[in-house]
Amino acid sequence: MKSQEKKQSDAERFALAETSAARGFATSTVHAGRHIDPTTGSVIAPLYQTATFVLPEVGRDLGFDYTRSSNPSRQALEENLAELEGGGLGVRCSSGMAAVDAVLRLYSAGDHIVCSHDVYGGVSRLFDNIASRSGISISYVDTSDPARVADAITPATKLLWVETPTNPLLQLSDIEALSALAKDRGIVLGVDSTFATPFALKPLEYGADIVLHSTTKYISGHNQIIGGACITRSESIYEGLKFIQKTVGAVPSPFDCWLTLTGIKTLSLRMERHSENAAEIARYLEQHPLVSRVAYPGLSSHPQHELAKKQLDAFGGMITFELHGGFESGVTLMNSLKLISLAESLGAVESMITHPASMTHVCVPREERLARGLSDGLVRLSVGIESLEDIKADLEHALEAVRNQQEENEVSSRKEAAA
């Protein structure tokens, strides 16, 4: 009886999600999921920091029973995220990885997954070490080429997992083309859209079945929480994910959801500034003599700039660049920055930088790293929303330190040669 009532209310929520998806994006960021508290009129949705809910009588609850199953603060965020993605329903998880794991748990032994080859390190770690243990096989392909994806599909393929733009190389995949392919072969298409955010890209509107975010990054935007979410328009996928969420319990705290919802309200403004700053920094780096290569979807030198223009409403705040002088130059640059933080995350208001060869990918054997395009001098910059001049000045002074170090090396090697 009770589950029957729940089913109906999910269907109703789907209908509701569709009708409210028509308002402007910035309006949705501020208002979606906001229910004004009828008892106090509080303009901000109250924080329901509670584990459980009192039932008025046996067999009847007021929509919530236990926070592992659902919580009003979490539900408000799930509604907001779903509306930002253009409709559907959201499932919020305790981290981006918990969200990927929830998707993975929809599959079982014998199933095959095709995955982007330049994928977030945690995702390949999960697929290679945990999925493989349950008899799920994975093929990594360059998903920027739909023909290669088609070649990798086998009769056992159930899921196509695409990251776009990728971390850290900022490669793009054509979601529209991949979704046509996935539909043709009866495969679920999941898109990790953490770098783009719904401000720049709404994968569900291009036919993806699941969109995933590490809400740790741009969605929350303030380096306060770890979180993840999946959004889907498929009722069966939603029910599957919801069941996994409730059963496994990798749920976020109500407080984390409440903070995330506060962060989302400024998503449009932040993404505009991230994109403006990053476009300028990308141009600055591209003309710098110590920089051999800059990857930014907004540069005409990006190999998929045309696709970026077609598919993205903004080019975002992430830049990857390569320094002449390899590993040592990368380390010198990192150690010389003052404003830009040396930190492994991305997508927050603070500018942050990482050096994959010495940080995120230090465990990957060098040959494998190089084969994946992660060279020794590669640097990933998450451009924050600070004053552009200050970000540029910090880079300028750190690049100066790299030049001085390279000159010192030349002098000492000349001395050695002479000795």
Contacts with ligand PLP by CB under 6 A lie at 95-97, 120, 122-123, 163, 167, 192, 194, 214, 216-217, 226, 228
Task: Name the DSSP class of 256.
Answer: H
In the bound state, the residue with its beta carbon closest to ligand PLP is 96
Number of residues in the chain: 419
Smallest distance, ligand PLP to C-beta of residue 22, A = 29
Distance CA 67, CA 78 (A): 14
Smallest distance, ligand PLP to C-beta of residue 161, A = 11
Distance CA 359, CA 374 (A): 12
Structure tokens at 365: 């054997």
> Of 97 and 231, which has the nearer Cβ to ligand PLP?
97
Distance CA 215, CA 203 (A): 16
Distance CA 297, CA 318 (A): 9
Structure tokens at 16: 């509701």
| Residue 293 near residue 407, CB atoms below 8 Å | no
> Of 163 and 399, which has the nearer Cβ to ligand PLP?
163
Smallest distance, ligand PLP to C-beta of residue 378, A = 16
Q: Which of 118, 192, 256, 394 is catalytic?
A: 192
3-state secondary structure 119-182: CCHHHHHHHHHHHHHHCCEEEEECCCCHHHHHHHCCCCEEEEEEECCCCCCCCCCCHHHHHHHH
End-to-end CA distance of the chain: 89
Given phi > 0 = left and psi -120 to 50 = alpha, else beta, which region is 363? alpha
- Distance of alpha carbon 96 from its chain centroid, rounded? 8
Mark whether 68 is an active-site residue.
yes
> Of 17 and 93, which has the nearer Cβ to ligand PLP?
93
Question: ∠ CA 87-170-360 to the nearest 5 degrees?
Answer: 105
Do you find a cis peptide bond into 165, omega within 30 degrees of 0? Answer: yes
Smallest distance, ligand PLP to C-beta of residue 136, A = 18
> Of 217 and 302, which has the nearer Cβ to ligand PLP?
217
> Of 83 and 192, which has the nearer Cβ to ligand PLP?
192
Mark whether 120 is an active-site residue.
yes
> Of 217 and 355, which has the nearer Cβ to ligand PLP?
217
> Of 89 and 126, which has the nearer Cβ to ligand PLP?
126
Task: Name the DSSP class of 223.
Answer: S
Q: Which of 119, 126, 198 is nearest to 162 (CA)?
A: 119
Q: Which of 74, 118, 120, 296 is catalytic?
A: 120
Smallest distance, ligand PLP to C-beta of residue 167, A = 4
> Of 226 and 370, which has the nearer Cβ to ligand PLP?
226
Q: Which of 202, 217, 372, 380 is catalytic?
A: 217
Smallest distance, ligand PLP to C-beta of residue 192, A = 5
Mark whether 217 is an active-site residue.
yes
Q: Which of 34, 68, 158, 185 is catalytic?
A: 68
Distance CA 277, CA 385 (A): 7
Distance CA 102, CA 240 (A): 9
Q: Which of 220, 234, 227, 221 is nearest to 190 (CA)?
A: 234
Smallest distance, ligand PLP to C-beta of residue 214, A = 3
Element (H, E) at 342: strand 341-342
Smallest distance, ligand PLP to C-beta of residue 243, A = 21
For the annotated catalytic residues, the residue numbers are 68, 120, 192, 217
